[in-house]
Structure 1
Amino acid sequence: MIRILGIETSCDDTAAAVVADGQTILSNIISSQNEFHAKYGGIVPEIASRKHVELILYVIQEALDKASVTAEQLDAIAVTNRPGLVGSLLVGLCAAKSLAYCYQKPLIGINHLLGHVYANFLTHPHLEAPHLSLTVSGGHTLIMRVASPTQYEILGSTVDDAVGEAYDKVAKFLGLGFPGGPIIDNMAKTGNPDAIEFPSPLIHSDDLNFSFSGLKTAVIRYVNDEQAAGREINYPDVVASFQKAAIRVLVKKVISAAKEQRVSTVTLSGGVAANSALRETLIQDAQRAGIAVYYPPLVMCTDNGAMIAGVAYHLYQQGVRSDWHLGAYANLPE
């Protein structure tokens, strides 16, 4: 049995998990910082890194205790080192390096994007490759061709805001709270998605890229114009219409990509994968196209250590090891 500790601190969740053989989750501890960022309407990088410093050792110890494993019994220590907030990444990286050095364990740096993709391999053991992954979160909006648990190719990405970032910014502008994703998802259920025709930028482009800055601006302009005219605003209709416009382009492009790539499976991952309307729309449209859709449970959509440890198992089996010079990167190194 290969037991790996996975550490994830790429953004604002302090997470650690122990996974056996890349498939059996022995523990998966996640400490959320939402309450500390809520009053700012978004993640404050300095606060995030400071909270990681306070929590990281407690979270790691809890992960080990719940898994009934000691550090000496681990086979390797894995840590997210790219992409993400550098201050946050460095906290997890320093903790991982310290443990690996003290207990003489292999250190493996993990690409956060591979972690999100692997959440579906963890949840659906018989998931095959190649398939397409729609990875959507506060920091990423990507369509990837997944060749294996450790190999992927980015086919399309956002040219400005990530879709989750647009959700947060719209929610902040409307005074709804943070994080914006679940708030808008719930409010939209009481609204009319056809009430306002917001644009879906790049929906007719010939590539697989996305843009959500213009959609966010369209919502702001609409609300400002309605207020200036003295008209009452139906906020559930606004968020439902915004959500429809965002989801429309996500689903259209990933289905088109699946047809172009001649793959019959699409996976959904990342924090926005928890969005109920996105799941329902993607499943409906994919079924009509003869495409299967897989997505992880809610706890595996957001950042977690289990997905990091899972990827690490396959890299460990391939002989991949990181040295003490392993760095933290805000973006994927070229």
Structure 2
Amino acid sequence: MAHQQNPPDVIEPEAHDHVDDSGIESDSGSVNESTASITSSILKYRQENGRTYHEYLFPNDEEESDRLDLQHHVYLLTFGHKLVISPLPKKLDRVLDIGTGTGIWAIDFADEHPESIVLGVDLSPIQPPLSVPPNLSFEIDDIEEPWTYSYKFDFIHSRMMVGSIGDWPKLFERAFENLNPGGRIQLSDAILPTQSDDGTVGPATAKWGQIMVEGTEKAGRSLQSAKLYKEQLIAAGFEEVEEVIYKWPMNNWPRDPKLKEIGMWTLEHSASAIPTLSLAIFTRVLGWTLEELNIFLIDVMKETKNTSFHTYWAIYVVYGKKPE
């Protein structure tokens, strides 16, 4: 696979900025229960603000599953309809997808690589029990606990787990130990606050990002962890470590057609992501009331649709190789 180039440093906006306050609608899907063997303790969810949670700061319900599947589409657009940008090892017998969520990445990867045995793990059983490739299985597991797999992997994948892991260096050590020599790992995560190349982040959006970072750091699960992945992978023993930073425009403000399309999908994704990601952090961690949060988010959501704000999510993709 050819070496990946970093995206342009600065995104050029369209000349005709305008405000769009139109509503955004999203389809509702269904979430099926996993056929994995699940103990009652694993299924003991927290009910909070009309959403359900496991150990993570983010929900695990039907609405969240829809958001994760939409997020998968944005990643495909970003990667040129590829599932990974990392080179893959020649030997690809076993693949691990950490925090598999709905399992959509694992399903696509298993379809694309029928020669591989793919395992998706997550705390929550929200993966489909039927219509999955025969070379794919799901397990309910806490990836922050000691790994007890009886075999090693050739590729480990993790996506959008930022804010869910308390000790990334320990996780990388375990990943290194559980990879075969020559095996590879790829991590993809967003960071907050959102950014702008010309200083046009909206004031409410800027404040939201700062509060989100403060809240997750108070909870011990920083939303800026991805900035350290490269050096932490190297410290864990990985070589050929590369970092690529992509930009997801908050709406369709860029001039570039591909980035404009990504921005349109990111706008729809943000309509769900911003309220969803905010709930536990603002109310459970920082002590806001739900009413206070909803009022605060009104201006944030207006700014996401305003094309005069050239805001984007920075997406860090970091990959490396265990020495032969």
- Normalising by structure 2, report the TM-score: 0.28
More helix by share: 1
- Normalising by structure 1, report the TM-score: 0.28
